[in-house]
């Protein structure tokens, strides 16, 4: 769990226009997102569990990795080579919490690498308990006539195809009562007009989650999903949002602000924990209302 967020401080935080080349670095954002390294309080709910996490260098994936370490898990993190600086920060945090961590940079758009990632995870800590799929691509395009085939293929390959490849590779190595957690979005149901490709992949992920939950339940493997809303991550400033919309991020939610990655991580902890042994095929929305 996380400590209570000081709502006054959050409301007063400014999220100024800022831009980085894709995929973006968390440590260069203003303000730097809360990854839970100092705010998350663990209770041993994942003691000695082993988790493979994609997109773990920054944003939600980073917060999940840190929360899992706080809860007693060892982790293998995947991320793009350009995100090495952020990934090294996560490694230091997890190591200081007394947990084991391996960093495996690489591009999930390559099926062979997705298979190698699982193999390296197994080499590091043997068969594992939790597969968390967070890595994704989001790039705003206002006019579908400007949506290139290259971007369309990249978005679907990153968000959907790699998810299937990784699950296929991981299944023989998931321990009894294993947990697979995917990442959808509020965009799956309420898509913005400039996220045609991204939003449709998130709807596909939710559908895949529900199908696989039924398919894998007889094997005692649970498959669930987290659907975040507007969360302050490098996604937002590396092409995911138009620059003029960055200061307005999250203001249309009931809470009137964007969420922090640390505020999402608890959902991933719950779904991986013994508290959720009768939960499968479900989607938890963390979207500010």
> Residue 21: how many CA atoms within 13 Å on its side-chain side?
2
* 198 is an active site residue: yes
Alpha helix (H) ranges present in the chain?
Answer: 7-12, 59-70, 84-96, 111-125, 149-156, 162-170, 196-216, 234-235, 261-272
Q: Among 156, 194, 198, 268, which one carries the catalytic annotation? A: 198
Dig out the tokens for 181 from the structure.
Answer: 């957690």
Neighbours of 273 (CB within 10 A): 18
Torsion sign, CA atoms 135, 57, 38, 28: negative
CA distance 161 to 165: 6
Catalytic residue numbers read 198
């Amino acid at each position: 769990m996380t400590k209570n967020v000081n709502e006054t401080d959050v409301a007063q935080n400014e999220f100024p226009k800022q831009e980085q080349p894709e995929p973006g670095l968390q440590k260069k954002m203003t303000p730097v997102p809360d990854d839970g390294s100092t705010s998350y309080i663990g209770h041993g709910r994942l003691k000695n569990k082993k988790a493979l996490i994609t997109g773990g260098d920054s944003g939600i994936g980073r917060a999940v990795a840190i929360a899992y370490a706080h809860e007693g898990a060892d982790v293998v993190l995947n991320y793009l080579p350009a995100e090495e600086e952020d990934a090294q920060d996560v490694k230091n945090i997890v190591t200081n919490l007394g947990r084991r961590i391996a960093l495996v940079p690489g591009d999930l758009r390559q099926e062979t690498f997705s298979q190698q990632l699982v193999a390296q995870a197994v080499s590091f800590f043997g068969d594992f308990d939790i597969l968390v799929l967070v890595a994704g691509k989001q790039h705003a395009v206002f006019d579908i006539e400007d949506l290139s085939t290259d971007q369309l293929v990249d978005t679907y390959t990153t968000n959907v195809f790699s998810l299937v490849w990784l699950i296929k590779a991981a299944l023989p190595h998931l321990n009894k009562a294993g947990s697979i957690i995917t990442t959808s979005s509020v965009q799956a149901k309420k898509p913005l007009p400039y996220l045609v490709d991204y939003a449709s992949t998130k709807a596909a992920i939710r559908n895949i989650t529900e199908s696989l939950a039924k398919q894998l339940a007889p094997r005692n493997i649970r498959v669930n999903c987290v659907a975040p809303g507007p969360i302050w991550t490098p996604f937002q400033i590396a092409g995911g949002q138009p620059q003029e919309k960055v200061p307005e991020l999250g203001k249309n939610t009931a809470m009137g602000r964007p969420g922090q990655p640390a505020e999402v991580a608890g959902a991933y902890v719950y779904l991986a924990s013994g508290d959720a042994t009768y939960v499968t095929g479900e989607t938890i929305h963390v979207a500010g209302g």
